[in-house]
Chain A
Amino acid sequence: MRKNIITIKNLSKSFGNRRILKEINFDINEGDIACIIGPSGSGKSTLLRCINLLEYPDSGKIIYDGKNILTGEYNINKYRSKVGMVFQQFNLFNNLNVIQNCTIGPIKVLRQDPKEAYKTAMKYLTQVQMSSFAEAKPKQLSGGQKQRVAIARALSMNSRVLLFDEPTSALDPETVGEVLKTMKNLASSGLTMIIVTHEMAFAREVSNKIVFMDQGIILEEGHPDNILTNPKHERTKTFLSRFIINE
């Protein structure tokens, strides 16, 4: 049995009167590639942001390596450095160039030696095929290039888990492919990933776990073959029927 990394227990989150997440239970083991799918407004992104504590949950537990990180005693910044995030809007640091984007975390947060951080960053930039752009500023890059740098930035932190919040939704159709390809390579390298996505074909191909969310709850979860071809709930069926045509 693979080692458990993150377990979420009874997680709830509201914005004002709107309950976005209702008692979510969810766990992730080492090497899992979990794809969270569902209609917009179902709480997928909020769940992902709660895992990284960009949104602070109202109640529930997030257990990382056997410890609940929501007790207030756990060092949240240290936890965050272990759980990387890739955003829909890339969010590269605009004041830094590509290589600095990838080294600032390792140098300032992990206190790595700058030379070592540079080497690691270059390794990951090469992996995402962006090493020739090391000196470029984010505004000189295309969307797909930005997202690949954002992935390299998250990798440079040597995170144990990478969270992807709709990484291809802000890209034009032609560049979606290059980002998905990069993510596929990562998936085969054994990294643990949680991906919020609308790319069903991609989800089926890379993931070993699909989570379908609707209205703040997890309606179904399981192996992609079961969920995508044989959904139990009516809601999952209607949601998926729209994608089957494309495949």
Chain B
Amino acid sequence: MENKDVVVSVKDLHVNFYNNNRCNRVLRGVSFDLKKRDIMCIVGESGCGKSVTANSIMGLLPELSRIESGSIDFYYQGRDIRIDRLKRKGKEMRELRGSGMAMIFQDPMTALNPVFTVGYQINEALMYHNQAKTKKEADQMAVQLLKDMGIPLPQQRVKEYPHQFSGGMCQRAMIAMAMSCRPKVLVADEPTTALDVTIQAQIFELMLELKNNNDTAILLITHDMGVVAELADRVAVMYMGNIVESGEARAILTRPAHPYTKALLDSIPVLGRGKGQKLEPIKGSTPDPYNRPKGCQFAPRCPYATKECETAMPGEQTIEEGHMCRCFHNLLKGEGI
């Protein structure tokens, strides 16, 4: 272990999906480290592999998919666990899920089972990871968890069903469930996309608080740059199965090196700049995953592309301390970096 604070280390991860006798190479060499108490954001367009990366860590990839190569190390209770080698539905993986690492999802209204009470669904996590010995103890803990999440009347609320909760409440209940065993890693897959903006802020505040209290590392998947600016310590920008740029949030947001990152930032309206601001949509659309460009995946849409870009995918280059970019023409070159 190079760094004591690293909780999850993903190295050169390749994941393929197999569908109708075709192979979709969804992840094509993803590497990053997730550190204790860090919030790392993965951003990118739909279909670029953000969720797959998250699911790989949780061992929740769909049936017809496989980790082809690379490694995922999870440093937990003094051990180095190779998640990529564990059976997805096996006992070891199951014991990690929910206790060592937990996940919350995009749409809290559908992520809770409609036919069980919220309390019951929280209890399940507590009982299976031996956080509570008896049902009664679990019930009390569930009430306390809901209370910690700022849900009013928790005694009553645990006995209610998800459809009696609002979206924001459901997500709080989901977070309560995820945090019930004090995991080292929380994977949040677009946790606020389905919620009101005002609720969003509350949910993020809650996540921050929990992170600080429990030393949890958070892997936050989003395509909301506002969220990134607000929360992220580190950012990884993904495009077509690769991390094309990663680094400190501030560096990425203020001085993007990869044309794709720049394009993403240029396509977002900025509050307060008025109606006059010019939004630049990214030209074209993401390529068909079964018919990818030969070289750099972004080349066909990139204004800076040259012949070189069509021949090979550029490798990972450290352009400054902690700032990685995969581009032949990184935009900071001009600045002498």
User: Do chains A and B stick together as partners?
Assistant: no
